[in-house]
């Protein structure tokens, strides 16, 4: 058997402001933005540059009870982990874009990490894993 996680849905207030944040500030790629008339919603998918793994599905809150989870999908825990091949390049660029870091960079046994907030307050780790870590980026 072979399976994989393809998308992770993240609840957002507005498609266009979420696209603006992920594409223009985080420098993600807009993979798809398709209107689905039967449900009156859009299928919006973004992905980190050069990624060939899981993508984010930007899902607009469509019910009042979903609005409560925008920005707090995991009860205040780090939600997503953005691995990079150059921590300091991306950290400096993100700071210059006005992205708020709530935990400053720190060296850990597994690599360099800092915690930032997305446009709604969901917490992310920006990290560069050490070369011997099984999930680190390696030169091809």
pLDDT truncated to tens, each residue of the chain (140 aa)?
Answer: 989 899 999 999 999 999 999 999 999 999 999 999 998 899 999 999 988 889 999 999 988 999 989 998 889 899 999 999 999 999 999 999 999 999 999 999 999 999 999 999 999 999 999 988 777 665 44
pLDDT for residue 81: 95
Q: Which of 49, 70, 91 is the C-terminal boundary of a domain?
A: 70
pLDDT for residue 131: 87
pTM recorded for the entire structure:
0.89
pLDDT for residue 134: 73
Distance separating alpha carbons of residues 123 and 79, to the nearest angstrom: 6
Give yes or no: residues 103 and 135 share one domain: yes
Give yes or no: residues 66 and 115 share one domain: no
Distance separating alpha carbons of residues 102 and 114, to the nearest angstrom: 8
Give yes or no: residues 13 and 61 share one domain: yes
Between β-strands 123-129 and 55-60, what pairing exists: parallel, antiparallel or unpaired? unpaired
Q: Which of 30, 48, 70 is the C-terminal boundary of a domain?
A: 70
72 — phi, psi (to 5°)? -145, 50
Total structural domains within the chain: 2
Give yes or no: residues 51 and 116 share one domain: no
Q: What is the DSSP letter of 70?
A: T
| Helix or strand run (H / E) with residue 120 | none
Task: Supply the CATH number for residue 123's domain.
Answer: 3.10.180.10
pLDDT for residue 53: 85
Give yes or no: residues 64 and 8 share one domain: yes
- In which domain, by residue range, is 25 found? 1-70
Give yes or no: residues 89 and 125 share one domain: yes
Q: Which of 70, 103, 118 is the C-terminal boundary of a domain?
A: 70
């Amino acid at each position: 058997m072979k399976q994989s996680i393809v998308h992770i849905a993240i609840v957002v207030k507005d498609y266009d402001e979420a696209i603006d944040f992920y594409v223009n500030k985080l420098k993600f790629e807009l993979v798809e933005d398709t209107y689905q008339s039967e449900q009156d919603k859009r299928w919006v998918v973004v992905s980190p540059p050069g990624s060939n793994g899981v993508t984010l599905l930007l899902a607009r809150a469509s019910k009042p009870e979903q609005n409560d989870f925008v920005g707090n999908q995991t009860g205040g825990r780090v939600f997503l982990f953005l691995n990079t091949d150059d921590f300091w390049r991306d950290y400096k660029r993100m700071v210059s874009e006005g992205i708020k870091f709530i935990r400053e960079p720190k060296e850990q046994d597994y690599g360099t990490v800092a915690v930032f907030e997305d446009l709604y307050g969901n917490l992310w780790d920006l990290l560069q894993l050490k070369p011997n870590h099984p999930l680190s980026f390696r030169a091809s």
